[in-house]
Structures are given as C-alpha cells and as structure tokens.
C-alpha cells in the first residue's frame, strides 16, 4: 500500500506557551508600572543558561590574564552593591578585540578586552559597567523578549533567527536566544535610562560621574572615525550620539547641584590593571590580521602573523588554536591535532579547539575520538558545525536515526553549514516522510483524464519519483504508476496517469487517490 498524500497538504506549527502569566509589575529601577511577562526567576534562568554559550560565541574568557577579570569583577561588584536591584551579578572579560560590552537578563555581564584598551581610567570602566548593570536591573533585555512575545504570540527559543548575525554557523537550538540578545539594539528610552541611572550608581559607588561624559565623548569621536571594530561592537547595540553627551552633562550637573562633588577616577589603578593588555596589544593585532588573511585565503601570510603573535604571548590559546585551524585548512590533520592539544592545555574551556580537533580526527578516520571531541564542543556551545559533523559520523556508522537528529539540529541555524545540514537531513527524511516534501493533488481535466499536480518543496533534487494513481472507473478499480525522472527543488508540474473517465462523468472524492510510491535522491 503506497503512502497516501493528502490533496491539500499544509504545514502547520502549533506553538504552546505554558505557565505564562500576563500581569503588571513595578520596575525595580524606575519605579514605573509596566507589563511583565517574564518573572524574576525566568530572568535568572535565562541569564544562567545563556551566559556560557554567549561567552563562547564571543571568543571565550580572556584566561591568559585572570587578574584582569578579577579586577573588573571587583569594579562591577562595587557598582552592583549600590544598584536598585540585587541580582547575582557576574562580570567577565572576553578574549575579543571588538570594543563591546553586554548584559544578559539576571545580571550576567561581559566586557571585551578590545574595549578595555580604549578606556582611560577606572571611572570610565565604572560608567560602562554601571550602564550594563542598569540594562539588567531595569529588565531591558527581558522587555525586549516580552516585546517579541507580543509580536509573535509566544516565545519559542529554538525559533529565534540569527541568520543575519555573525554567529550564523555557530549557535543552534537554545543557544540561539543568547545570540539574539547580544545583537539586539536597545531603544532610545532604554539607553537614556541606563545612562541616567548608571551615572547615579557611579556617584553612589564613589566614582567621579564626569567620567561618563568623557566616555561618551570618546565614543562619539571614534564612531565619527568609522573604525569598523567600533561600529561592529559597542556602537551596534549602544549607538553614541551628541545627544547622549549633552544628556550626560546635564545629569552630572544635576548631581553637582545636589551636592555630589568629587569622586575617584582611579587612573593609576586602571593603568596598572590593564598594563599586560596594553603591552600585548601588538600580538592581538597580529592575531586579528591573521583572521582577516584567512578569510582572504592567504594562509601562509596568516601563519606568519600568528608566529609573530605566539612569539609575543606564547601561552595564548587563541593563537595556537587559530594556527591549528590553518593546518586543518591545509589538510595537515596530524599536525593540527598536536597544535589543538597545545591550545587545550592552555585553555580547556573553549569550544573551538574541541570542534577543530574533532574535525581533524574525523578526517583521519578516528571516529571515536572525533565523536568525543565534537560532543565536548557541543557541551560548551551547540554549533551547526559540530552537529553537522556528528551527523556525518553517524551516517558513516549506518545510524540513520542519529544522523537525522544531528542534521536537523544543525539546520536550525543560518549560513552555508546549516544549509548543507538541511539538505543532508532532507536526503534521509524524504524517503521516510515523502508527504512532508512532495505535494500531490489529483484532478480530472475537461477531456476526462486523471492527472496529478506535483510540487517538490525539499531543498534537494528528487529522482525517479513514482506517482501512483488509484481510481474507480465504471465500477472497476484501476491503478497506474507514472514516473517523474527529475523533480528539482521548488519544481512542480502535472503528471498524466493514463486513466480516463467516460465523457460527462465527474468522479467523487472517494473514487480517486494519488500518492508517492517511491523516489531516489542525489
């Protein structure tokens, strides 16, 4: 019995939102009443769940200088202690040259080393961290999610699209939420609130609030210079403007009028804490240049840049890992494994080293080691690349069910890898569930011929599609099979069954049926 395909197939998605209570609550920072769809516990859960993958997709922690993270954590704690909302605040420094800082719901905050080298003193750092603390304390991230709920009707973490983000080939599944939260733009009101209350937090913590003015002035000057790193980083989600400079001046003037004068700049402390970062900046500049050269397929030049970087900071795992990536591109897999080993010895908490080593092991035919490394990378950050590779390994082991699961997960993201995974999933799934990919609808034309309108919605070309017809003609059951040799992606057309009804006879719905009896794929 061939699988029957409905005449009018539709794909429907039922989204269930459980446990959602719509209500109003008082904003802990502004004191205003506002719609609240996400509870405090949900904020905390989101922040806790997304903090690690969000760090991973941004380069991981800056582990080569743990004292710097401890210093930033101390400044952050000083500000958090005077905030209007007590949360389990955390602060980390990320190994990323793009000047940026961000906050997740629940008080999980990060600042890139690329931003720290641009600041002049601890008070300016306090202005950055205070601003991010307000984003978390005033529920700005949660509010953005709530707006998404109202627009979409529900919150489905796995359905959040990041196809246009730099992370398209990385985060998949639940980690896609963190990617979206990092790339969102706050509204002008949220930015204004974060500036205003962040400046007050600075003053309460004993910092000179005027540093918030110099910080914004620096941002405006750098944005006018159109430095791409700046435009891609902090300015993408926190756009600077002369208006913000004027607002900050007015806010500081108000504080002075209230009798709040003085405050620390902490210039010497800041310069001491960031000394290593400034001294090693040439190494990280060389690393950034190497990444750009790799994108241009200039692998030899990139390798020379990395040699320079490694000579300056021998224990930086990112340098070693990128050098190993080049070896993979050159198909020197055994050498790549050795270099990934060195990177993992320096930093065992970054997904990319396990992902790269897993790919290298896979190419060497060492499936068990490849699977272990790829799973380790997924535990740190679920990526389309790892899922796709695990799907390929499962398919090599004749485990179709696992392969389909991995490919389906990999296809959730965007970019080329996810497209490849989607096609691989379709090649496996179309044979099991043809009705999900091929729409067929029978009809009888004016000459009494029984035909079928066939449409291929699979992301692949289908071959030898067998369209089977069944009809009751003059009281007799008649079956025919028509062959469509090639049905490209998105292609459709009419197929003649070879069955004819007598002139003037219009068959009823239960007298005709059509389905797919078989097919093959490339």
pLDDT of residue 181: 61
Say which CATH number the domain at 367 has. Answer: 1.25.40.10
170 and 229 co-located in one domain: yes
pLDDT of residue 158: 32
Evaluate if residue 175 carries a pLDDT over 80.
Answer: no
The three state secondary structure string of 372-400 is HHHHHHHHHCCEHHHHHHHHHHHHHCCCH
**For the residues 184-203, what does the mean pLDDT come to?**
82
**For the residues 83-110, what does the mean pLDDT come to?**
93
Question: In this structure, is residue 24 part of a structural domain?
Answer: no
361 and 504 co-located in one domain: no
Total domains in the chain come to: 3
Picking from 24-33, 177-186, 411-420, 473-482, which range would have the lowest pLDDT averaged per residue? 177-186
502 and 488 co-located in one domain: yes
197 SS3 class: helix
pLDDT of residue 374: 97
pLDDT of residue 356: 97
Question: In this structure, is residue 3 part of a structural domain?
Answer: no
Q: Return the H-helix or E-strand segment holding 520.
A: strand 512-521
Q: Are 158 and 173 in contact (CB under 8 A)?
A: yes
- Out of 273, 288, 318, pick the residue that ends a domain: 273
DSSP H helices, 153-280, are: 175-183, 188-204, 211-224, 228-232, 234-237, 242-257, 267-273, 275-279
Question: In this structure, is residue 323 part of a structural domain?
Answer: yes
292 and 403 co-located in one domain: yes
**For the residues 282-286, what does the mean pLDDT come to?**
98
177 and 243 co-located in one domain: yes
Question: In this structure, is residue 30 part of a structural domain?
Answer: no
424 and 463 co-located in one domain: no
102 and 169 co-located in one domain: yes
- Out of 244, 273, 302, pick the residue that ends a domain: 273
403 and 475 co-located in one domain: no
- Out of 375, 407, 432, pick the residue that ends a domain: 432
pLDDT of residue 522: 75
Evaluate if residue 225 carries a pLDDT over 90.
Answer: no
Picking from 13-17, 151-155, 221-225, which range would have the lowest pLDDT averaged per residue? 13-17
Residue 396: domain span: 280-432
- Of the two residues 38 and 293, the one the predictor is more confident about is 293
Question: In this structure, is residue 390 part of a structural domain?
Answer: yes
Residues in a beta bridge with 23: 36
Question: In this structure, is residue 338 part of a structural domain?
Answer: yes
Question: In this structure, is residue 29 part of a structural domain?
Answer: no
pTM listed for this prediction = 0.83
Evaluate if residue 238 carries a pLDDT over 70.
Answer: no
Evaluate if residue 320 carries a pLDDT over 60.
Answer: yes
Q: Quote the DSSP letter at residue 185.
A: P
Question: In this structure, is residue 347 part of a structural domain?
Answer: yes
CA angle 194, 198, 202 (to 5 degrees): 170
Answer left, alpha or beta for residue 20, where phi above 0 means left and psi between -120 and 50 means alpha. beta
311 and 375 co-located in one domain: yes
314 and 461 co-located in one domain: no
379 and 400 co-located in one domain: yes
- Of the two residues 185 and 340, the one the predictor is more confident about is 340
pLDDT of residue 16: 34
268 and 346 co-located in one domain: no
Percentage helix, strand, coil for the chain under 3-state DSSP, each rounded to 5: 55, 15, 30
Say which CATH number the domain at 444 has. Answer: 2.60.40
Cβ within 8 Å of residue 388, ≥6 positions away = 406, 407, 410, 417, 418, 420, 421, 424
């Amino acid at each position: 019995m061939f699988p029957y395909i409905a005449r009018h197939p539709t794909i429907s998605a039922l989204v269930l939102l459980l446990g959602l209570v719509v209500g109003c609550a008082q904003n802990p920072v502004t004191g205003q009443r506002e719609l609240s769809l996400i509870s405090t516990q949900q904020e905390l859960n989101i922040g806790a769940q997304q903090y690690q993958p969000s760090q991973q997709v941004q380069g991981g922690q800056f582990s080569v200088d743990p004292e710097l993270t401890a210093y930033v954590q101390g400044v952050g704690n000083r500000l958090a202690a005077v905030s209007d909302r007590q949360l389990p605040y955390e602060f980390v420094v990320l190994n990323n040259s793009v000047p940026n800082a961000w906050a997740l719901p629940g008080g999980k905050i990060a600042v890139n080393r690329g931003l720290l080298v641009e600041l002049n003193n601890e008070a300016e750092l306090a202005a950055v961290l205070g601003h991010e603390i307000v984003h978390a304390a005033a529920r700005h991230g949660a509010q953005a999610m709530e707006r998404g709920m109202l627009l979409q009707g529900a919150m489905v973490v796995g359905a959040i699209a990041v196809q246009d983000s730099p992370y398209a080939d990385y985060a998949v599944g639940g980690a896609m939420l963190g990617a979206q939260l990092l790339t969102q733009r706050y509204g002008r009101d949220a930015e204004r609130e974060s500036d205003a209350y962040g400046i007050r937090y600075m003053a309460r913590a004993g910092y000179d609030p005027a540093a918030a003015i110099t910080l914004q002035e620096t941002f405006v000057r750098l944005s006018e210079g159109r430095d791409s790193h700046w435009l891609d980083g902090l300015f993408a989600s926190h756009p600077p403007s002369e208006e913000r400079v004027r607002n900050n001046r007015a806010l500081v003037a108000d504080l002075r009028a209230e009798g709040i004068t003085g405050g620390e700049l902490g210039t010497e402390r800041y310069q001491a804490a960031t000394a290593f970062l400034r001294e090693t900046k040439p190494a990280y500049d060389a690393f950034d240049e190497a990444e750009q050269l790799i994108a241009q397929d200039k692998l030899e030049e990139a390798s020379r840049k990395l040699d320079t970087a490694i000579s300056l900071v021998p224990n930086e795992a990112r340098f070693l890992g990128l050098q190993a990536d080049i070896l993979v591109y050159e198909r020197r897999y055994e050498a790549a494994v050795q270099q990934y080993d060195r990177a993992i010895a320096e930093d065992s908490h970054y997904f990319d080293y396990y992902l790269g080593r897993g790919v290298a092991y896979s190419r060497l035919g060492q499936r068990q080691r490849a699977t272990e490394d790829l799973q380790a990378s997924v535990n740190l950050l679920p990526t389309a690349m790892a899922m796709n590779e695990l799907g390929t390994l499962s398919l090599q082991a004749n485990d179709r069910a696992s392969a389909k699961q991995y490919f389906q997960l990999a296809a959730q993201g965007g970019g080329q890898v996810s497209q490849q995974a989607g096609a691989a999933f379709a090649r496996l799934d179309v044979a099991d569930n043809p009705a999900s990919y091929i729409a067929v609808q029978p009809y009888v034309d004016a000459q009494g011929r029984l035909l079928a309108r066939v449409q291929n919605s699979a992301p692949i070309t289908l071959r030898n599609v067998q369209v089977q017809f069944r009809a009751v003609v003059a009281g007799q059951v008649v079956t025919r099979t028509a062959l469509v040799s090639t049905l490209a992606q998105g292609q459709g057309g009419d197929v003649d069954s070879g069955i004819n009804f007598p002139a003037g006879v219009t068959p009823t719905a239960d007298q005709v049926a059509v389905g797919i009896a078989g097919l093959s794929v490339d």
